[in-house]
Amino acid sequence: MMVTFVSECEKKALNRTRRVLDAFANRIGSRTWQTVITEEGLQAVKKLLRKTATKNTAVACHWIRSRSRSELQWIVGNQDKFNVQGIVPVNYTDGELIMDLLPIKIDSIYANTKKQPLDQHLFAVGYLAFEIINRLMDDKNLARAAFIAGCLHDLGKIDPCFQNWLSDEVKKKILPEISEEGMHIQKPVKFSFENHPRHNEISYLLYQLLDDESHKETNKFIKEAAKHVVYWHHAKPFRNSKKEFSNLDVVYQKLKANIGDSKGFQMLTDTVQPVICSINALADNYFSDDILTIEGILKRANMERIEELDKQQFPQYKRYSEKDKINDYRKFIIENAKTDLCRAAVISADRQVSSINADSLIRLIEERSLDELLDDALLKDGNLSAHIQDCLNAFEHSFPNSERNQQQSLTARRLKDVEGVAVLNGPAGCGKTKIALEWALNSRVKKILWICPRVQVCEGLYREFTDSASDYHLAACIEINTGEFKTLYQNGREVQTPDDQEFSGDIVITTIDQILNTITTHRKVTGLVQYMNAHVVFDEYHEYITMPAFNLLFAELVACKQLQENRANTLLVSATPNYHFVENLLNVHRDDIIGIQSFNPSQYQITFQAFAEKNQDDSNPLYQPQPENTIVISNTATTAQLSFIKNQKTENEVLFHAKYKKADKQIIFDSVFDAFKRNGSRKYDVLRSSPVVQASLNITCQHMVTEFTHAENWLQRFGRLDRFGENSDVNQFIVAIPDSLAIGGKQTSRCARFLNSMSCLQSAKAWNEFLQNRLDGQPVTINQLYEYYEQFYQDEACIRAIEEDLIKALKESVHKIKNKLIDPISIPIKKAPQESGVKIKKHSLRGDNRFVQMAVCEVEDLDRFQFSSDYAYDPEELDANLTYVVEPILGFGDSQQNLLAFMAKKHHNVMGSKKVYNDNILLNEARSPEKPIYLSYTPSDLQKVGGESQRHSHAIYYAIGKRQVIGAIAITQLQLTEEN
């Protein structure tokens, strides 16, 4: 039928009705519309008009029966504006009319099995996403991008295949809860996302085809951010690599084939307009002032763009590329941070809206009370402030009117006054933890996320906050959440954290890996909203600077908080801030780096001692016997192990590194902390360690030896030497430098190659030269040393070396992100892994590790050992597992050293299992503790394949010394001869 609409609306009602009528008919006058429409379409128009009707609304609809006769169909709104025939003066046109045929009914288009109308679901998600951004920060463009993305994210659910499947689902008596992965077609037979696009892919396609690029009200950033979120609000479906959707043309062709040729696709795109129109009508009715609407959507798909779809790629999940200037990386960081936030807001809003039934959704929209759903997404006030105040009062009670307390309080106030992200620069032992707590108290803290670079740092903090004898003991709920530990502590009770209560503590101590999951995975993405709501402390953040991928992703997390400006509530804590990194990559102004002087008056004698790396005797400072109360820190675990073996007969020593099985690592960590903490047991005289103890661990000694390293590591290790200023004698700090580096700075030594692999060799050489030129052989104080450190970052020659290393590290980060950080993928239930227990990620930023098993080797000295009949752990005790880096397992690319290939040849005969003909199968299976890679075999097991002559020459064993476990080590490193 052909109809004419006449509007006699006034005030705001005029614009509201125009949006509805413009979507369905052609305007033929300032207040008149005309079109050809079906009965269903006409009812849709009437319903949309009634949704926005007010006392100023007046619209009449006339059915044009013939050239000379029309018939009033209905009037919406104020009927007094028309007579009984609906007649008023109307405008007219002599131009040719283009009539749209829109056989559309959107009332029965649902978003999910709860029968939420799609238009209402989309508006609610868009509104909540908009409000989440608004409550987190003041960024109108980002908030508008979140609104548009939320209103369009499920537009692809108009797909007839989805609606038909949904119709069958809602007829079932028992409906499953909507999962975090969202609602997607799940048919047991004759359906696969190998051959059909998901609704987020269809939504992205429709946005591309219907986006009016000439529309000026929506800027480029808003559109690009919204499109990114529309596509990435769900993880990609798991597909065969040969059938992976490579571009938008694949989505278009698959969709068109599944819904019945081009005509069916045209019908689908025609449905977009009334859905958008309904969303705008809901927005008009919901908002009283600044109205949010979806603008710039074409009535018809742009057919020219269809021809170019094969050139249209999907948006990258993370966009980074190698650059030669630090500022160029900053652009990527900010762009990724904004899309992180927009995506998190939309997904959080989507999950909140999807959790309620349709009636509740309708009520919340009608009552304009959607904000009720935000309560679960945002933080509530608790008692953390009171608990922190009690802790600080205890310090004041123990040390009344002390200068230390006063200076710490002054520093906390200065940090609170920083408008944005602040940096606390304090020497070791100055009380940075106390200052951070007071900073949080001053800024109305509700929750603290205390983010650390390593598990050992988390453990140290957790002990301080929960130990009743500690100065920092807090009555708040303290939570540790790492890959190894998930524990809640409150009121003297410690319990395992339930799965649904992770990150529920008042203070959550966690590793950066857990927080990075919010921006690198889909499952944890909503945690970014909690991160933005909380006070955040990045402890010992300098460790990320040389860690590939972590430096850029850490900068991304910081950039998210920087967008909050004076609401950032974020503190970066380190004794070694690395001014160049902070100012140039993180974009933190030098004035926002707040320092505090050390209260430690002790004197330190620094000695640089060259040595020949090949020597493992007393000429090597790292292997020399040491006096009581000494810590020796090597750059690698292997050096620490070998020096421990050499001295285990004569020294009362303890060895600590990361190459232990889980149970041994915890026992040794406890022993180290108990022996070397303040007023510790002194059970051991010497600690020999890899770098795992150098940061944040609250231990101390009176004599230290460190291997040559860069400035940050150097000073962090220095911070464990007489940490509490209790030694009246001059403390000795020995820096062991390979002679090749000491003489000419050559890069041929093992130490140089190691530092170069860590992207810190040039800055390490610059620091060594800079410091030696300023020390005159006289003892120095901590404050003098940190003055040198600050001057180091002002020296032009040193800055060139620092920047060279940083650019190298950032380039390696881009390479790792592109190769290790895979796009989030949703695995179908039928393909889900069946193994129980923990499983290593297939792609990990931290490192490529696998579960391993190894035989035990009892080591008595550097030239005496014997092989045991035991393995490192009982295969039935999966919690006692052990992991190892893949690279040495594969022999560093040398087939003669490849332990995986050796296992593939021998293991089935040793263990009586089925032979595996593909090494990669073994490597993949070893991501689960049930199927570890065997790096060595016991003598009895080797007898099954020809005796001990079959032992691999590069086998790795779990060494046990005379007094303690030594850990995993290759027999080639020991340079031993077997004892018979």
Cβ 179 vs Cβ 278: under 8 Å:
no
Q: State both tokens at 919.
A: 């090494």
Helix (H) or strand (E) holding 610: strand 604-611
Q: Which residue has the tokens 């999807």?
A: 354
- Measured CA to CA, the distance from residue 119 to residue 358 in angstroms comes to 12
- Residue spans of alpha helices (H) in 211-325: 220-232, 248-259, 261-286, 303-306
- Measured CA to CA, the distance from residue 763 to residue 513 in angstroms comes to 26
pLDDT tens, 49-83? 998 898 899 999 999 887 778 889 999 999 888 88
- Measured CA to CA, the distance from residue 791 to residue 793 in angstroms comes to 5
User: What does the angle CA 569 – CA 575 – CA 580 come to, to the nearest 5 degrees?
Assistant: 80
pLDDT for the residue 241: 65
Cβ 687 vs Cβ 651: under 8 Å:
no
pLDDT for the residue 215: 67
Label the pairing between strands 507-511 and 593-595.
unpaired
- Measured CA to CA, the distance from residue 433 to residue 18 in angstroms comes to 60
Q: State both tokens at 297.
A: 């959507």
Cβ 760 vs Cβ 769: under 8 Å:
no
789, β-bridge pairs:
none
- Measured CA to CA, the distance from residue 400 to residue 719 in angstroms comes to 26
pLDDT for the residue 620: 95
pLDDT for the residue 104: 62
Q: Which residue has the tokens 């008149």?
A: 32
Q: State both tokens at 319.
A: 């966009």
Phi and psi for 450 in degrees, rounded to 5?
-100, 105
Helix (H) or strand (E) holding 732: strand 731-738
The full DSSP string for 359-389 is HHHHHHHHTT-GGGGGGGTS----SHHHHHH
Packed helices 261-286 and 12-24: angle between N→C axes, nearest 10 degrees: 170
Q: How far is CA 123 from CA 90, 118, 228, 384, 975, in A?
A: 34, 9, 18, 36, 70
611, β-bridge pairs:
738
**Residue of 280, 48, 254 whose CA lies nearest to 152:** 280
Q: How far is CA 767 from CA 742, 775, 936, in A?
A: 12, 12, 42
- Measured CA to CA, the distance from residue 453 to residue 516 in angstroms comes to 11
Label the pairing between strands 422-425 and 593-595.
parallel
- Measured CA to CA, the distance from residue 649 to residue 639 in angstroms comes to 17
733, β-bridge pairs:
606, 704
User: What does the angle CA 405 – CA 411 – CA 412 come to, to the nearest 5 degrees?
Assistant: 90
Torsion of CA 214, 218, 222, 226, to 10 degrees: -80
- Measured CA to CA, the distance from residue 403 to residue 621 in angstroms comes to 39
Q: How far is CA 138 from CA 135, 144, 529, 640, in A?
A: 8, 11, 15, 51
- Measured CA to CA, the distance from residue 929 to residue 180 in angstroms comes to 27
Q: State both tokens at 818.
A: 């592109």
pLDDT < 70: residue spans in the chain: 89-104, 173, 176, 188-189, 215-217, 241-243, 289-290, 376-377, 379, 696, 744-746, 826-837, 878, 975-980
- DSSP conformational letter for 738: E
Cβ 657 vs Cβ 637: under 8 Å:
yes
- Measured CA to CA, the distance from residue 337 to residue 554 in angstroms comes to 10
- Measured CA to CA, the distance from residue 731 to residue 725 in angstroms comes to 10
Q: State both tokens at 966.
A: 């030594």
Torsion of CA 831, 837, 840, 846, to 10 degrees: 140
pLDDT for the residue 256: 87
pLDDT for the residue 975: 62
- Measured CA to CA, the distance from residue 402 to residue 471 in angstroms comes to 15
What is the amino acid identity at position 657? H
For residue 898, give every residue at least 6 positions away whose Cβ sits within 8 Å of its Cβ, in sequence order, or none: 889, 890, 891
